[in-house]
Structures are given as C-alpha cells and as structure tokens.
Amino acid sequence: MDMLIAIMAACFYLLALGLVIPGLTNSDGIKTKPVFIAALAAITLHILLLKDLILGGVGQNLSILNVASLISFMIATLTTFATLKMRVWFLLPVVYSFAAINLTAATLLPGSFITHLEGHPQVLLHISLALFSYSTLMIATLYAIQLAWLDHKLKTKKSLLINPNIPPLMMVERQLFKIILVGNTLLTITLITGFIFIHDMLVQGKMHKALLSLMAWGVYSTLLWGHFHKGWRGRRVVWFSLVGAFLLTLAYFGSRFVKEIIIGG
C-alpha cells in the first residue's frame, strides 16, 4: 500500500512539474490552478505516506530518509501555497523533484531510528522547531540561487522582461531576506529550546550538532546584520546563504548519514 501511495504522489509531483516547466522556457503564462491542484494532490498523498512511515509502528520512526522526506514535504507545502501570492515558479522544479525522490527513497529503502516523543512534549517542540527552521532556510537557499541566476542574466544583458513568470530582481531579494529573518528566528528559538530541554546536547557525539548549528546561526545573523546595516547584496548574500545551508545540513544529517547509510547502523 505504501508503495502505491508513493508512486501516486511521485506521479502528481511530476505532473505539476510538467505543467510548470514549459512556462519557464517561453513567454506564455503558467496556469496557477492546475499546478496547485496537482501539487496539492501530491502533498496530500505525501502526508499519508509519512503517517505510515513515521507513525506506523511503536513510537516514531525518524530514520534519515523519513526525516528527509518530511522536510521535502514541508518545503513543497510552503512553496506550493506561496505560488498563490508570489512568483516562485523557478523554485518548483527543484522542490518537487526532491520531494518525489525523497519519498520514493524512504519507501524503497526503509530504515529504523525509533523515538518515543509522546512522553517528551518538550523534545517534540524542539524537533518541530528544528524542522521548520531548516525547511525555511532551505527555501531561502533556493531563493539565493534564483537571485544569483537573475543577477547573472541581467549582467549579461539577456532580456528577462518577455517572460511574465520571472519575478523582478529586487522583489526576489526582499523576499529572500524576509525568509532568512523568519528562518533565523526559528533557528534561534530551536537553539534556546535545545539548551533548555536537551540535557545531553553538549555531550560527546552530539556536541558537533550544537556547534555546527551555532555556526550556521552566526552566518545567518551576520548576513542579516550586513544587509540591514551595511547594505550587503548580490554575490556575497548568495555565498553566505549557501555556507549557512551547508553547515545546517551537516548539523542535522551529518552523523546520521554516516551511521545509517554508510555504516548501516
């Protein structure tokens, strides 16, 4: 049953892709409603699959592939609903492709990392904040890449005005910093709740997660300060965003990837 749901969800994500990509390569407008309906069907099936994969047994199975699929679901949901008000079309091919790949991998390569969060609501709060902050800052990373692409096109004097699906450069930049501000605020709260509720957060084997997360928080905080007080923009913003995303990914998935995927434990 899980395999059938995964196949259907992946097909709807691919259908949404098929509706978006042609509009990115020509001047025809993208029809929002069909894309939204296809993506909403994929998201609905995706959450049903996650319910079985994560909550289908005793406790919660937070294997690395399940968590990756959960984060892909969150990013896909946020960007899909963002299409109703913002021109985020260039983000969707990457977002939907990763969502389809991650949910398929989680179904075909089941892992096990059982937790029991029902008896620890404060830990559940911390993990939820961590997932939301990571998802938000990954969307910011995609925005930063889009910003770099638009800046490159403008500098090479390639016309972008004929495609109504491409947002103005300044609009993308404003949205980028709003998203980073939200994501960094969530990351700040995540770190605070971690130090309060996770008593072994700094013990050997877990300290690297805290240190890498603090480093990522420092990168994003410096970027926000530089933009609002020094007027930073352009390539520097893109590099700061990529470094912050890399550090967070190492913090969230580094040791788990080694233990679950490479070692197989």
pLDDT of residue 158: 58
Cα–Cα nearest to 20, from 124, 104, 93, 127: 93
pLDDT of residue 161: 52
215 occurs within a structural domain: yes
Could you tell me if 239 and 124 lie in one domain?
yes
Amino acid identity at 114: I
243 occurs within a structural domain: yes
pLDDT of residue 27: 64
Beta bridge partner(s), residue 60: 115
Instruction: State pTM to two decimals.
Output: 0.88
pLDDT of residue 138: 95
85 occurs within a structural domain: no
73 occurs within a structural domain: no
179 occurs within a structural domain: yes
Could you tell me if 143 and 194 lie in one domain?
yes
Q: 56 by DSSP, 3-state: which?
A: coil
pLDDT of residue 259: 57
End-to-end CA distance of the chain: 27
pLDDT along the chain (265 residues), means of 10: 92 94 75 92 96 86 91 95 85 94 91 80 89 94 88 68 70 90 96 83 70 94 94 88 93 68 52
193 occurs within a structural domain: yes
Hey, CA dihedral for 95, 97, 100, 103, is it positive or negative?
A: negative
Spatial distance between the Cα atoms of 99 and 14, rounded to a whole number of angstroms? 10
Take residue 262 and report the two structure tokens written for it.
């490479």
84 occurs within a structural domain: no
Domain that holds residue 24: 1-62+91-108
Could you tell me if 141 and 258 lie in one domain?
yes
pLDDT of residue 197: 81
